[in-house]
């Protein structure tokens, strides 16, 4: 029966191919979108794993880029028992680098981090950029009043720069004193400089007594101590006009997890629509096939094929379409992800269970798409079917 | 008896109105008989064949074929019965277009798997019916007579107790029609199967044949074999 069913599918190659493509597009979409989401998740988890302390931002800001806090908060944070260091940070998007805006000509896609190197040296674990230096050095207290910057290997490669050369950020030229690489796409797009210089680039846009956020490291890094300090910090600023959210790595992860969770729901809805359309394609193909083959089912019934045999035949045919569509879709999806990865700032990941599930969905889609046509074929009266010849 | 029918009736509904195709057929066809069922179009002879072939169920009455009371059997049991005991040859040849001659002969057994040696047996039968050089040909590549030979070969593969033929020469010229009847008669003679031919063409009736004439759903004449 398996060979007979395959023959029936191959007899109508164009129609079968179109139904198969319908399923394949749906499956490729599922594999592609979930691979991107999964890659984004693992990249973010990896990035957050590099940050050990707390990040303080203005209450209800989603990101340091949208947060503004008074510089004077640093001293108040450092006075809280258990805090080892509190580093003020000014985060912003570079207006242009080397006169270029590379992302659609609108912005650079590169961030600027202005920090206070003096306080930096008090961090017990060291700042993530200090720990990731590949060549040269990080910004130091002595760099105040000079235009010096540290760039990532990615930026160095992109602008063909290295230690000793200069890089223009906005209207100002900076001497490159160090090159770092954290390995995270989210962190490696940053030019690090002295807080003073970041204020200079910002010009009138940022007040000189305001920063974006503070990076805080406790003396002891147990989860209990971190939690205690977090609460103490939030309490310290509870009565100020600009209140503070202290976020640990776990909380960032959880926030990001929520965003990705919503993205996953969206992806599942989009994929389900595609999968539904694929199933309709198979249903349509099989229904047309059954309608055209009424006399054939009459012959089979006259020659001893039961309702169950006819049902199985049609279901096997539609399952073939689903399986082929699933295989084709998985292949296209995986290949598409590999190609897309070359142009993406992070690596999409395609776990094997995802491919297996997508393939299973394709096969299931095929079988479900064949149920109604199979019932119709099986229910034909042999006499009526033969007369239709 | 190969077929034993008692007060067999069949009523169809056509356009919301009942149409009595068979109005009480009672007959006995002995084993190894060769029977012609003749009559004008719409007389009910094909309906009788469908009931005898377990393709349809009567409205009332009983019909026993090869010792099995068909009216009491389930749909699945009827399917098994058709596959194992009955052979069919239809006017329109009824071959499956994407299968070659050998595959068309074997198709009744595809659902349950082919027994060992069945493919060779199918080829041998096709050679017997004169299609030894047409084994891999599909229906479109065969003439009408050749297609009907494939249909006969398919019936022969089962070693049927009863072969039912509905206007088997209806779409063939006289010479090819005679050849097909030659095959049916050799099946009857060599395999001992009973043959029922439903036709309005009486040219192929021979003295040893039983002839049943049906008109308006009733048997109006029954002629026992002569000689």
Contact A306/B at CB under 8 A? yes
Q: Do B75 and A381 touch (CB under 8 A)?
A: no
β-pair type (A69-70, A210-211): antiparallel
Which chain B residues are Cβ-neighbours of A382 within 8 angstroms? Answer: 55-56
- With beta carbons less than 8 A apart as the criterion, state whether B79 and A305 touch: yes
Task: Write out pLDDT tens, residues A195-249.
Answer: 888 888 887 666 778 899 998 888 877 778 888 888 888 888 888 888 888 888 7
Which chain A residues are Cβ-neighbours of B55 within 8 angstroms? Answer: 301-302, 382-383, 386
- With beta carbons less than 8 A apart as the criterion, state whether A32 and A354 touch: no
pLDDT in tens, chain B (227 residues): 788 999 999 998 888 888 899 999 999 999 899 999 999 888 899 899 999 999 999 999 999 998 899 999 999 999 999 988 899 888 876 888 889 999 999 999 988 888 888 899 999 989 988 888 999 999 999 988 899 889 989 988 888 899 999 888 877 788 888 888 888 888 888 888 899 999 888 888 888 899 999 999 999 988 877 65
- Helix axes of A13-48 and A352-378: crossing angle, nearest 10 degrees: 150
Task: Write out pLDDT tens, residues A84-106.
Answer: 888 899 998 888 888 876 555 55
Contact B94/A at CB under 8 A? yes
Give B 49-78 residues with CB within 8 A of chain A: 50, 53, 55-56, 75-76
Which chain B residues are Cβ-neighbours of A296 within 8 angstroms? Answer: 96-97
Q: Average pLDDT, stretch A115-127?
A: 78
The pLDDT, as a whole number, for residue B48 is 92
**Taking the domains of chain B in order of start, what are their residue ranges?**
3-92+145-223
> Which residues, listed in sequence order, are joined to residue A107 by a DSSP beta bridge?
A103
For A140, A291, A382, A389, the CA distances from A296, given in Å and listed in that order, are 85, 10, 10, 8
Could you give the ipTM of this predicted complex? 0.89
Question: Is pLDDT larger for residue A255 or for residue A149?
Answer: A149
Q: Say if residue A313's pLDDT is above 90.
A: yes
The pLDDT, as a whole number, for residue B226 is 64
Q: Do B90 and A300 touch (CB under 8 A)?
A: no
What's B3-92+145-223's CATH class? alpha beta
Burial label for B172, CB within 10 Å (0-12, 13-18, 19+), is buried
Burial label for B221, CB within 10 Å (0-12, 13-18, 19+), is exposed
Mean pLDDT (chain A, rounded)? 84
The pLDDT, as a whole number, for residue A281 is 86
Q: Do A305 and B75 touch (CB under 8 A)?
A: no
Q: Do B76 and A307 touch (CB under 8 A)?
A: yes
Mean pLDDT (chain B, rounded)? 88
Q: Do B76 and A308 touch (CB under 8 A)?
A: yes
Contact A384/B at CB under 8 A? no
CA–CA gap between residue A195 and residue A121 (Å, rounded): 15
Contact A12/B at CB under 8 A? no
DSSP code per residue over A19-74: HHHHHHHHHHHHHHHHHHHHHHHHHHHHHHTT--SEEEEETT-SSGGG--EETTHH
% residues pLDDT > 90 (chain A): 13
Which chain A residues are Cβ-neighbours of B112 within 8 angstroms? Answer: 309
Shortest alpha-carbon distance between residue B30 and chain A (Å): 23
Query: What is the 8-class DSSP label of residue B33?
Result: -
């Amino acid at each position: 029966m398996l060979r007979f069913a395959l023959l029936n599918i191959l007899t109508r190659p164009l129609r079968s191919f179109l139904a198969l493509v319908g399923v394949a597009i749906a499956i490729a979409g599922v594999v592609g979108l979930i691979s991107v989401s999964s890659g984004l998740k693992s990249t973010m988890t990896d990035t957050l794993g590099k940050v050990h302390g707390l990040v303080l931002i203005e209450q209800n800001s989603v990101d340091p880029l949208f947060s503004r806090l008074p510089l004077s908060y640093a001293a108040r944070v450092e006075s809280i028992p258990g805090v080892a260091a509190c580093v003020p940070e000014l985060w912003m998007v570079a207006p242009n680098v080397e006169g270029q805006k590379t992302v659609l000509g609108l912005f650079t896609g590169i961030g600027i981090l202005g920090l206070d190197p003096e306080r930096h040296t008090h961090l017990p674990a060291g700042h993530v950029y200090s720990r990731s230096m590949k060549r040269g050095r990080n910004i130091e207290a002595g760099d105040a009043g000079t235009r010096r910057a540290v760039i990532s290997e990615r930026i160095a490669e992109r602008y063909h720069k290295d230690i000793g050369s200069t890089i223009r950020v906005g209207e100002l030229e900076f001497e490159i004193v160090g090159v770092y690489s954290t390995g995270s796409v989210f962190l490696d797009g940053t030019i690090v400089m002295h807080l003073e210089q970041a204020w200079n680039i910002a010009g009138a846009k940022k007040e000189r007594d305001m920063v974006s956020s503070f990076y805080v490291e406790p003396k002891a890094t147990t989860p209990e101590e971190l939690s205690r300090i977090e609460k103490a910090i939030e309490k310290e600023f509870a009565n100020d006009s600009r209140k503070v959210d202290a976020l640990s790595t776990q909380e960032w992860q959880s926030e990001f997890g929520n965003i990705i969770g919503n993205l996953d729901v969206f992806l599942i809805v989009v994929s389900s629509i595609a999968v539904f359309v694929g199933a309709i394609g198979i249903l349509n193909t099989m229904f047309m096939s059954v309608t055209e083959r009424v006399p054939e089912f009459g012959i089979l019934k006259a020659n001893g094929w039961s309702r169950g045999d006819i049902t199985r035949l049609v279901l096997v045919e539609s399952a073939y379409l689903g399986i082929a569509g699933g295989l084709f879709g998985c292949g296209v999806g995986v290949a598409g992800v590999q190609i897309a990865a070359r142009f993406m700032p992070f690596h999409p990941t395609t776990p094997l269970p995802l491919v297996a599930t997508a393939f299973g969905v394709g096969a299931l889609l095929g079988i479900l798409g064949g149920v109604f046509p199979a019932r119709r074929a099986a229910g034909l009266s042999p006499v009526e079917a033969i007369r239709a010849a | 008896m190969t077929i034993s029918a008692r007060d067999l009736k069949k009523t169809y509904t056509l356009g919301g109105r009942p149409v009595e195709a068979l109005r009480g057929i009672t007959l006995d066809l002995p084993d190894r008989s060769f029977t012609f069922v003749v009559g004008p179009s719409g007389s009910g002879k094909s309906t009788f064949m469908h009931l005898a072939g377990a393709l349809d169920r009567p409205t009332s009455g009983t019909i026993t074929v090869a010792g099995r009371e068909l009216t009491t059997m389930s749909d699945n049991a009827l399917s098994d019965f058709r596959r194992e005991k009955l052979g069919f040859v239809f006017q329109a040849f009824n071959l499956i277009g994407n299968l070659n001659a050998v595959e068309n002969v074997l198709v009744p057994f595809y659902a349950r798997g082919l027994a060992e040696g069945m493919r060779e047996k199918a080829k041998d039968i096709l050679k017997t019916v004169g299609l030894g050089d047409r084994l891999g040909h599909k229906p479109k590549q065969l003439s009408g007579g050749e297609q009907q030979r494939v249909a006969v070969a398919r019936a022969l593969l089962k070693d049927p107790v009863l072969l039912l033929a509905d206007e088997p020469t209806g779409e063939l010229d006289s010479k090819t029609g005679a050849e097909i009847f030659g095959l049916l008669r050799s099946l009857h003679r060599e395999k001992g199967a009973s043959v029922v031919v439903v036709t309005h063409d009486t040219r192929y009736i021979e003295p040893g044949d039983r002839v049943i004439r049906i008109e308006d759903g009733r048997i109006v004449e029954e002629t026992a074999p002569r000689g």
